[in-house]
Amino acid sequence: MDNILSILIFFPALAGLLGFVVDKHSAKVYGIAVASIELLLSLGLWAKFDTTNGGMQFVEKSDIIPQFGISYNVGVDGISLFIVIMAALITLLGIILLRDNTKNMKNMIVSLLFLEMTMVGVFLTLDAIMFYLFWELSLVPMLYIIGAWGGPDRVYAAVKFFLYTFAGSLIMLVGLLATAYLYHEATGDWSFSILDWYTLELTETQQFWLFLAFFAGFAIKVPMFPFHTWLPWAHGQAPTIGSVILAAVLLKMGTYGFVRFSLPILPDASVTFTPFIMMLSIIMVIYTAMVAFAQKDMKQVIAYSSVSHMGVIMLGVFAMNAEGLGGSVFLMLSHGIVSGALFMLVGVIYERRGTKLMSEFGGLAASMPVYATIFGVMLMAAVGLPLTIGFVGEFLVLLGFYNVSPLGTVLAGSTIIIGAVYMLVLYKRSFFGPLTNEKNKDLEDLDKRELTALIPLVLIVVWLGVYPKPVLEPIDNSVKLLLTQMEKKAISTETKEAIVISKKEAK
């Protein structure tokens, strides 16, 4: 297990290179085999992970450019562990769901394996330059997936996705370089190690400007209001596998960036900007939920719903207490599982009918009962029904956020009601009532390929909804350690008071 993190990062990319010489008829089987090995490796990491230790584990470090403090530096804690496992799982299930007649299957598989490498790299790296490289490299395969396999306006959607995220990441890069320079000024040494930066004492003014630089990159990736306009286009034009990975994993890079960089490195600025972030997040939650209600396209409903729930995650992050921050990390996982499954389900019906308009359906429960059942389970998880995975994270986030703003919690909690309305309306229009459209009467229910991709997600939704402790405990330990670091580093008394480690003092 000494080099398990390096294997997790680079194995998909090396396998992707070998994929170029694989026969095109065997490309999907090859992709499933590689993604399965990656998932098994990530589960092996969990098995060896010390769940009582909130710090970084399995750390690997070797100098690359020592005179500037740039190194190959990776590690994992409870915050990143389960996101890595989710990335591996979603990639595998997405490949399984691919139709055998997908055009240029070999290119699709290679693109997905390279994308998996960049996603895992972002969540495991502890060096800021490496983080930036993986962050930027993730744009390339996703740009290609949208542009090559997307809908009629795929080129516009792909370019808009690239320009938004690339522009934000350039500003973020300025912030990363500035932080390294300030570390050099304070210590006399160059370092791009995130863990070294956690010890850096910065003035409130320095934190203010660095927070804005980081915010540009992370907020666009989330995407926060009003930077969200690229996402509905990307979802609308991306192929099913593109939407699944985008919603399940790539959006989490933004919220993860706030947790890994902004909070521990810039605690005072984080508290200063909390009212602003919360205002944008509440607007994001309510506005995009209302826009989702107005949509006629199934996929757009889920796309805007995804943005709304990302706003809830942001509220948990900036609640800056153990309940809110731990809940937001868990909600990253539940949102990834549920939104990924919903996009898969929309892709299934689109393959059969060639349309995603709700007006084209009705009575699907009669012709596709298994499909309707799984869709119903995921829909209930999306609206936060108790005993589903969606309830746990949302409850903890709202509990933590209530300690900060009771009124804001009421407003944010309204998204559960609004979400239930538009999701139930979607379900009613599509699945209940008489089969009025002749084209829907003979639709084939889920086949073995689709069930293989969807059943594991259903089991996870129920398992972690009923018994979330195996995941919540490691997350909670790492979150408490993070909050303790923030409290020690904070300059102002106001910041120290705003950071609540837990209702019981962290031991």
- Examine residue 226 and say whether the peptide bond preceding it is cis (omega within 30 degrees of 0): yes
- Residue 194, pLDDT > 90, answer yes
H or E element: which one contains 59? strand 57-65
Q: With contact defined as beta carbons under 8 Å apart, do 220 and 177 qualify?
A: no
Task: Tell me the C-alpha distance between 196 and 38, whole Å.
Answer: 30
Instruction: Determine whether 67 is exposed, middle or buried from the number of CB atoms within 10 Å of its CB (0-12, 13-18, 19+).
Output: exposed
Give the range among 310-319, 462-471, 487-496 with minimum mean pLDDT.
487-496
- Examine residue 223 and say whether the peptide bond preceding it is cis (omega within 30 degrees of 0): yes
Give the pLDDT confidence of 21-79 residue by residue, as tens digits: 888 888 999 999 999 999 999 999 999 999 889 899 999 999 999 888 899 999 999 99
- Residue 473, pLDDT > 50, answer yes
What does the pLDDT read at residue 1? 67
Q: With contact defined as beta carbons under 8 Å apart, do 360 and 267 qualify?
A: no
What does the pLDDT read at residue 299? 86
- Residue 14, pLDDT > 90, answer yes
- Residue 429, pLDDT > 90, answer no
Confidence of residue 308 (pLDDT cuts 50, 70, 90): confident
What does the pLDDT read at residue 123? 95
Confidence of residue 411 (pLDDT cuts 50, 70, 90): confident
- Residue 504, pLDDT > 50, answer no
CA distances from 416 to 24, 244, 255, 411 (A): 45, 22, 20, 10
State the DSSP code for 321. Answer: B
Determine the average pLDDT of the residues in 322-345. 92
What does the pLDDT read at residue 236? 82
Task: Tell me the C-alpha distance between 402 and 389, whole Å.
Answer: 21
What does the pLDDT read at residue 336? 92
CA distances from 398 to 118, 161, 384, 409, 463 (A): 32, 31, 12, 6, 22
Residue with tokens 């106001």: 494
What does the pLDDT read at residue 289? 83
Look over the chain and give the mean of its residue pLDDT values, rounded to a whole number: 89
Task: Tell me the C-alpha distance between 476 and 321, whole Å.
Answer: 11
CA distances from 431 to 236, 302, 316, 374, 425 (A): 22, 16, 34, 12, 10
Confidence of residue 502 (pLDDT cuts 50, 70, 90): low
- Residue 182, pLDDT > 60, answer yes
Q: In terms of pTM, does the model score above 0.85?
A: yes
Q: With contact defined as beta carbons under 8 Å apart, do 264 and 499 qualify?
A: no
The strand pairing partners of 357, in sequence order, are 297
Instruction: Determine whether 131 is exposed, middle or buried from the number of CB atoms within 10 Å of its CB (0-12, 13-18, 19+).
Output: buried
- Residue 440, pLDDT > 90, answer no
Tokens read off for 41: 């490796």
Give the pLDDT confidence of 242-273 residue by residue, as tens digits: 999 988 998 899 999 999 999 999 999 999 99
How far the first Cα of the chain sits from its last, in Å, is 29
Closest by alpha carbon to 461, among 398, 383, 347? Answer: 383
Confidence of residue 218 (pLDDT cuts 50, 70, 90): very high
Q: With contact defined as beta carbons under 8 Å apart, do 105 and 113 qualify?
A: no
What does the pLDDT read at residue 58? 93
Tokens read off for 436: 């009025």
Task: Tell me the C-alpha distance between 231 and 315, whole Å.
Answer: 20
